[in-house]
Structure 1
Amino acid sequence: MSVVEEVRLSLPHIELAAHLFGPENGRPVIALHGWLDNANSFARLAPRLEDLRIIALDMAGHGHSGHRPPGASYSLWDSAHDVLQVAEQLGLKRFALLGHSMGAIVALVLAGSLPERVTHLALIDGLIPPTAKGDNAAERMGMALQAQLDLQHKRKPVYETLERAIEARMKGLVAVSREAAELLAQRGLMPVPGGYTWRTDNRLTLPSPVRLTDEQAMAFVARIGCPAHLVVASGGLLVQHRALLERLPFSHEQLPGGHHLHVNDEAGAALVADCFNRFFSDS
C-alpha cells in the first residue's frame, strides 16, 4: 500500500484528522466516508486514483477526529460546514468531492448549496438525504427528542478482544468483509477497561429530528453545476431505487459488489478506481 500522510486540521470549531494521498500538486479532492466508518474507508481506493491529491477526512465524531461539544448534534449541514472549513484551512477556493454513503450525501448537499466551489462530484452508493412526507414532522421530532434523552443512559459496547470487535463490525447494519472491518478497526477502535470500544460518538446513532421532503432533496441535485458521476453497487443500498436514478441529471453506472465495494476487496477498489480515473480525466 502506498505512503499515506496523517494530518490534523485545527478548524475554528473542531479538530479533524485526515489522511493525505497522492501528489501535492494533484487536483484537490476532499473524500468523505460513510456513517460510523473513517478515513480508512479510502485506504484501498485512494492510492489507485491518478493525479489527485486526496484529503480523506475522519468526519466529526469518527476515527481520530474530535467529537462535537455537549448539546450539539450531527447533522448533514454541520458536516457540510466542516468540509468548507477544511477547504478554507487548506486554501482551496475550488475543490472536488468524493463521497461514500453518508459522505456522498454530504458531498451532494455541499455541491448543490455552493456549486461555484465544487469542481467534480464523485459518489459511491449514496445520493440524496433520507426524505419523508411533511405530515409526520411532529411525530419524527418527538421520536428524536426522546431518543436524545434516552441516550444519556446508554453505554457503548465493550469487546473483550480486537477479534470480537472486528466480527461485530463485519455483521453491522451494513455487512463488510473481514479485511474492510480490520481496516476500519485500525482507526475506529480504542482500548478501554475490559477490552476495546469504538471511538465513534454515541450521538451519531440518534435519529434525525427533521427530514427533507423529496422535492427539497432533489433541489440540491438540480443545482449541481459541476461534472458528477455516481457508482451504484449491485448489492448495495441504491440499486432498488430505479425511479430515483432515472431522475438524475448526471451519469451513473452499476458495478458488482456490496455497499462498501471500494474497501471490501482489491478487485472492488480497482473497479471503482478505473471508473473515477476515467471520470476525472474526461471532465
Structure 2
Amino acid sequence: MVRLIYFSIVLCFTFLAGCSVQDKVKLELHINKDSFTLEDKIIVTAKATNTSEEDISYLSNGSCGITLDIRSPYFGRFVEVESNCNDTNATRKTLQSGESIEIKKSYIPKLNMTLFRHEEDTELVPAPSGDYQVAARMGFEMGEPGISVKKSVHIDGGKQLLTIEEIDKAVHEHNKVKDWIENHTGDNVAKEDNGNYYIRENGDWVRVNKDTYKNLPTGIKEPGRFFENGHWKLKYTNQLGDAPYTLEVTVDAYTGEVIEVSTK
C-alpha cells in the first residue's frame, strides 16, 4: 500500500513572534511502497511547500533544493537510475508564498561499492536484506536550521555484507595488524623525557615543541578502502614510528576473514 509521510508543522499565528523557517515549510516524503525485492524499482518523491505568506530563500546545493538519499551502513551508495533534477549548481533560490517544489528519483536495490573511482570501474552488489532509511532534507539561509523527514523501507535482498565497523573490527583483531598499529601509536611514536618532547618520525627520534607533541594524532588514520570481487582492500599509512610505514589488508566483505596482510 502506498503510504504518505510528511513533516508536520505547527502553524505560526500572527500574535507569535520569531516564527522560524521550519514553521513555514512543509516537507513531504512519498515512496512507491514499503517493501522491495531486488527486481523492484524504489521510487522516491519529496515535495516542499511554502505555507507562509512570505517568500523564503533556500539552498539548491546541486539537488534542486531537496536532497534525497537511501542510507546504507555498507559504505556503498544506492544506484540512482532516474531523476527529474538536472540542477548541478550550489545556489540560493526563492520559494514563493504558496509555491511547491517536487523532486522525484528512482533507485535500484543495488549498491555501488566503488566510490570515487572511474565510472567504468563501477562494481555493483545486491543490497543485503534488511531495513534502510530513506531521507529528504532541505537547507535554508545560514543560521536557519534545515528540515528533514525520514522513512524506513525493507528490502528482501542479497547476501549479507558486513558493515564497515564490522570489517574494521575483524581487521584490528588480526595479530599482524595489531603489531603494526602498536608500532605506530602510543609510546612508540611520541615520548616526554625530562621536559623535552620527541616524536619518532621515519625511524628517528626528533625533538619537537610541546604544542606539536600535544597535537599529535593519538591513533591510526582512516585507511583507504577499495572494493573488488567481494573483498575489501584496506591501506593504512603512518610515517610515525618505525618501518614498514604502509600496511595493506585484504578481507572478505561477507565473512570478515582476513585473507592477506602485507607491509611496505
TM-score normalised to structure 1 length = 0.23
Greater strand proportion = 2
Greater helix proportion = 1
TM-score normalised to structure 2 length = 0.24
The structure with the largest alpha-carbon Rg is 2
